[in-house]
Amino acid sequence: MTFLEFNKKFSTEQAAIDYFYKVRYDNKLTCNHCGAKVYLYRTNRQKVCICHNCENTFSPFSNTIFEKSKTNMRAWFFAIHLIINDKKGISGCQLQRELGVTYKTAWRMLRLIREAMGNEDMRKTFDVLVEIDETYVGGKPRKENLKLDENGKVAVDEKQKSKRGRGTNKTPVVGVKERSSKRVYAKVMLADDDGRKITGKQLLSVLDEVCREKTAVVSDDFSGYNILNKETENKYVHFSVNHSLGQFSAGKGIHTNNIENFWSLVKRQYVGTHHHYSTKYMQRYTDEMCFRQNHKEGGFDVLLGQCVRKTA
């Protein structure tokens, strides 16, 4: 959806509210108190409805990310439009400038939208052929902040902080990409040792969340994937490509290039748009990138449907 299409579709606040009713309730709004399937009309407050049957008022936005928000729906919809259309995401400062709201409001809106992006249920939906890989997300520390030894050189233990790949202090993320549909599932791995060491059981648990049994799995030569070859864990058909020998394709479609392309976008989001985000919220930023990859068409309506909060 382009900017001009957005303005035409949601020309007024009422048009945005009516569209939300259509997506969430399929234009069949019922009373939250008596459950009567009656026609409901709005009072002078646009976000409040009143029931003809029991005469109780209620908000159709309850249990959604829009609940108790004073920001109008057009602003919410425009924020969703921006975050979906921008390939590397949008920062809180940029959204603040676009909407003319405070930074606190913009940051809250982005946080809740990312929360909704993670509401997608992808359990056991991948089959046929998937690629799995891991990456490490985090910034490179400034040289002046690293401790020096007596000779004025960076201490050996401090070099670990800026090390690339496995063994680094950065946060690991494991991703699975289905070859045919190009859908992606990614999970931040946080273990007792701060998540720096990924085990075979962790990798297997990620596959078990989204893959059906007997799915063909392509990985690199990391020893953690050896668990896929054990007879006791023979749930998947495993193929690997040996990156340590400079092999990036073993022929016949055996490669991990697609999931690695996804990692390049994740890194561009971190470095180019946000510059830094904490491990605490890293899963939400990762969910945002996955949602954008999985819904290149029709993502706006899907996200509105997912704005309903999950309850335990």
Task: Encode pLDDT of 267-304 as tens digits.
Answer: 999 998 998 888 889 999 999 999 999 998 889 999 99
Q: What is the pLDDT of residue 111?
A: 95
pLDDT at residue number 203: 92
Helix pair 299-306, 282-294: axis angle to 10 deg: 140
Residue 312 pLDDT grade (very low, low, confident, very high; cuts 50, 70, 90): very low
pTM value? 0.85
How would residue 92 be classed by pLDDT, with cut points 50, 70 and 90? Answer: very high
- pLDDT digits 0-9 by tens, 199-251: 888 999 999 999 999 999 999 989 899 898 886 667 899 999 988 888 888 88
Domain ranges of the chain: 129-272
Looking at per-residue pLDDT, the higher value among 62 and 106 belongs to 106
Task: Identify which of 70, 80, 73 has the alpha carbon closest to the alpha carbon of residue 105.
Answer: 70
> By percentage, how much of the chain surpasses pLDDT 70?
85
Per-residue pLDDT, averaged over 26-43, amounts to 76
> Could you read off the pLDDT of 147-180 as tens digits, one per residue?
555 666 655 454 455 566 666 778 899 999 999 9
Instruction: Return the HEC string of 74-141.
Output: HHHHHHHHHHHHCCCCCCHHHHHHHHCCCHHHHHHHHHHHHHHHCCCCCCCCECCEEEEEEEEECCCC
At 37 the pLDDT is 74
pLDDT at 100: 95
Specify whether the CB–CB gap between 46 and 13 falls below 8 A: yes
CATH architecture observed for domain 129-272: 2-Layer Sandwich (3.30)
